[in-house]
Chain A
Amino acid sequence: MSTDHKRIGVNLGSLSLIFFLVGGVFALLMRAQLATPNSDVVSDNTYSELFTMHGSTMVYLFVTPIAIAMATYLVPLQIGASSISLPRVSLAGFWVWLSGGLIMQSGWLTAGGPGRDGWFSYVPLSTSPYTPGPGQSLWVVGVLLAVTGSMLMGAAVLVTILGRRAPGMAVLRMPVFTWTALVTVLMVVAAFPVLLVAMGLLLIQRLTGADIFSGFTGAIDYQDLFWFYGHPVVYVMFFPFLGAAAEAIATCAHRRWFGYHAFVISMMAFVTLSMSVWSHHMYITGGVTNQYFAFTSTLLVVPAGIEYFDMMGTLIGGRLVMRTSMLFALFFFVQFLIGGLSGIFVASPVLDYAANDTYFVIAHFHYTLFAGSIFGFFAGVYHWFPKVTGALLRERLGRWQLWVMVVGANLTFFPMFLVGADGMPRRIARYPQHPSWITDNDLSTAGAGLIAIGVLIFLVNLWVSLRNRVEAGDDPWEGQTLEWATTSPPPPLNFERPLPPIRSFAPLLDLREAERERDPAGPTPEAPR
């Protein structure tokens, strides 16, 4: 009910995390099925439901909304605003998203089971002659509502960023995370409505039998509309975590993010390119112009390269303190690099003719989404948890979580590159008895178990840290941006003290540097935690 952006952000974040656990259970069931080649843990049909609901839960109900939750919570604080713009839109968006999530999952209660045509549910497979029953329709309605809700919340963030900045907070003085949030919500506003059109038409076709997506053209049009949303959304699931990792690294390096202007330019290029590459998902259809999309997709090397340059530039010459947030952020960059480089590989049509629809692609996007974005998310959690709750997370448990998840993620996803290059298609419930496939799949299943343990350690850490609180104070890390200039947790209207002067994207660092200049012999930098 509350229209406070902090409450909306925390509620959205917590519910997304619950969906993360749900989607994770689906993944574990799939890995159990694939541990042996001809397994009967679940039926073929249930397996289709599991991979569909795993992908849909993770994309529509976890990674996208938690990215928006971080933006909703942090952006007003970072730009020195007392509240979010369009608070009622944001609140309504939250409830629309939640009802969408529940409706999508409610398919499990129907006799025919939930949606089972994959998270992109191509036509004509997803039309009622081939997938009858309410489960798939509930999936369509759920996606429609979940994406509508995300879009409304994103719009509120966009209006906030552009209209509510504190005096002095020019657009080119916005913190790095706020910039990543801005480009994220630009895509939300420009790309999400296209999915609503596709899903709306699919729903009408399912319910009335109208021949909307018809024949070859219809099949290609659906894919074009879907991926016009579906590719930008993978950047929605990346940029905010890039911002979180960047803030964590800059803070733990005690200097400002290197190359801010290059970063801003590259983000603008990045976001436009990310809206221009969608048909690289359709190379093998024979229905799109592959060269154009190979061109735009490969061009992504340039802005992505700039981000890595800035990351390394920040590390070199810093005073590094290896906190858990820093470690998660570094693994975000390093592991995402594997996903990114394999992405350049599959951006080449000829290479994609081999890799598409195989485990190679699964490995590629799990390196970006899980080994990348989720690590960036945890960097953000360890960085901002003290701000949100006023209590510190345990560092020792954090390190256990980190290393278990690093081993787990690589053990799960690296063998998928091998088995995919060797010809194992995605979305099969049973596979032939090749010895190397069995080994690779067993490694993946073991890794998935480790990831689950890593997530459990995180939950234990949450529980311990909130039960036996170690008070964080307003600014435990020598933060650089405005959210560290208020209390932890922030008061209802965010700031009770006057804001410091804003002369750059790191106003608190400016103050600290000015102080050191006035009094070089002054207080020595605090001991590394």
Chain B
Amino acid sequence: MSDFPPSAALVSTRAEYGHLFSIYVPIAAGVFVVVVLVVIGAILRYRGAGAPSRRSNATWLEGSYALLLACVVAFLLWETFSAEHQVDTVANRERPSLTINVTAARWEWTFGYVGDGITARSGRTGHQPLVVPADRAIRFNLASLDVIHAIWVPQLEFKRDLIPGHTGHVTLTFTRTGSFGGQCAVFCGEYHSEMTFTVRVLPPGKFATWLAAHRATGRAAPARTGAA
């Protein structure tokens, strides 16, 4: 277990997303309801009403309203910038417990466990799962051999492009154990929809066992492990 020391308070993309979601969506829903109620109210009240009002400006009201909107914008940006700082900056400063080279090519993913000699492939040709430990920072080096792809695991609420001619880096942490889907998110040609993979997130102890067992063979779990 000394191979995988738990680091303190890892950034969770899922948690950051959830936090922002819980701010943005209620505000949006509130605004929508208010506008709809005002429109319906105005229709009920002023449909076929008498002489229309000739007032055509409300400078003070409009000014303060614009100011209110600006405050909302400032609040949203504050929250967004803090979350973005966590995901894009703080996470990449974490010391990873595991480094995986991700190579995308039409229409297959190759996951190479750096230093362990293990390789897993998934996509059009087969489905070997990407096995990772939970609650550990994992560094992914992202490269593409042909066109632009994007690695996406909906469970993480995160995706990132893989662009040829450049190796990108992201540091991600899975907070739940289980099996999750993943796929290419940027259209990459005819069989784009088959460029999928499965992530198996194991408790750290189990992952260490898995790693020890596969380090020798140099291959990931044989073929598909069912629904696991």
Interface members, chain B 36-61 (any A CB < 8 Å): 36, 38-39, 42-43, 45-59
* With known contacts A130-B189, A315-B43, A354-B154, A344–B76 Cβ distance under 8 A: yes
> Nearest Cβ in chain A — how far from B57, in angstroms?
6
Q: Nearest chain-B residue to A269 (Cβ)? A: B66
**In the complex, chain A residues whose CB is within 8 Å of the CB of B20:** 348, 350-351
* With known contacts A125-B148, A301-B69, A216–B52 Cβ distance under 8 A: no
**In the complex, chain B residues whose CB is within 8 Å of the CB of A291:** 81, 84
B192 within 8 A of A: yes
Q: How far is the CA of A113 from the CA of B45 in the complex (A)?
A: 56
**In the complex, chain A residues whose CB is within 8 Å of the CB of B24:** 344-345, 348, 351
* With known contacts A130-B147, A320-B42, A334-B36, A350–B58 Cβ distance under 8 A: no
Inter-subunit contact A301/B73 (CB<8 Å) = yes
A427 within 8 A of B: yes
Q: How far is the CA of A485 from the CA of B158 in the complex (A)?
A: 57
Inter-subunit contact B35/A356 (CB<8 Å) = no
Inter-subunit contact B146/A124 (CB<8 Å) = yes
A201 within 8 A of B: no
Inter-subunit contact A350/B66 (CB<8 Å) = no
Chain B 154-178 per-residue mask, 1 if CB under 8 angstroms from chain A, else 0: 1001111101111010000000000
Q: How far is the CA of A3 from the CA of B57 in the complex (A)?
A: 40
Interface members, chain B 1-53 (any A CB < 8 Å): 13, 16-17, 20-21, 24-25, 28, 31-32, 35-36, 38-39, 42-43, 45-53
**In the complex, chain A residues whose CB is within 8 Å of the CB of B72:** 301
> Nearest Cβ in chain B — how far from A234, in angstroms?
19
B208 within 8 A of A: no
B152 within 8 A of A: yes
Inter-subunit contact B187/A117 (CB<8 Å) = yes
* With known contacts A302-B73, A312-B42, A320-B46, A428–B52 Cβ distance under 8 A: no
Inter-subunit contact B32/A312 (CB<8 Å) = no
B150 within 8 A of A: yes
Interface size on B, residues (CB 8 A): 74
> Nearest Cβ in chain A — how far from B36, in angstroms?
6
Q: How far is the CA of A421 from the CA of B50 in the complex (A)?
A: 47
**In the complex, chain A residues whose CB is within 8 Å of the CB of B50:** 319
Inter-subunit contact A216/B183 (CB<8 Å) = no
Q: How far is the CA of A259 from the CA of B163 in the complex (A)?
A: 48
> Nearest Cβ in chain A — how far from B202, in angstroms?
21
Instruction: Give which listed residue, A215, A256, A315, contacts B56 with CB less than 8 A.
Output: A256
Q: Nearest chain-A residue to B154 (Cβ)? A: A423
Inter-subunit contact B69/A319 (CB<8 Å) = no
> Nearest Cβ in chain A — how far from B190, in angstroms?
5
Inter-subunit contact B65/A286 (CB<8 Å) = no
Interface size on A, residues (CB 8 A): 85
Q: Nearest chain-B residue to A354 (Cβ)? A: B157
B186 within 8 A of A: yes
**In the complex, chain B residues whose CB is within 8 Å of the CB of A427:** 187, 192-193
**Which stretch (A15-23, A150-158, A165-173, A303-311) binds chain B?**
A303-311
Q: Beyond the given A308-B35, A422-B154, A429-B193, could you list 13 further A-B residue pairs with CB under 8 A, ordered by the A residue number?
A: A44-B190, A122-B186, A214-B165, A253-B46, A256-B56, A284-B150, A286-B163, A290-B88, A316-B46, A320-B47, A334-B35, A351-B17, A425-B193
Residues on B facing A (Cβ under 8 Å): 13, 16-17, 20-21, 24-25, 28, 31-32, 35-36, 38-39, 42-43, 45-59, 62, 65-66, 69-70, 72-73, 76-77, 80-81, 83-84, 87-88, 146-148, 150, 152, 154, 157-161, 163-166, 168, 181, 183-193
Q: Which 10 A-B pairs have the closest CB atoms?
A: A215-B165, A423-B154, A317-B53, A216-B166, A428-B193, A315-B42, A354-B157, A341-B28, A357-B185, A216-B165
Residues on A facing B (Cβ under 8 Å): 44-45, 48, 117-118, 122, 124-125, 130-131, 214-220, 253-262, 284-287, 290-291, 294-295, 298-299, 301-302, 305-306, 308-309, 312-313, 315-322, 330, 333-334, 337-338, 341-342, 344-345, 348-351, 353-354, 356-358, 422-423, 425-432, 513, 516, 525, 528
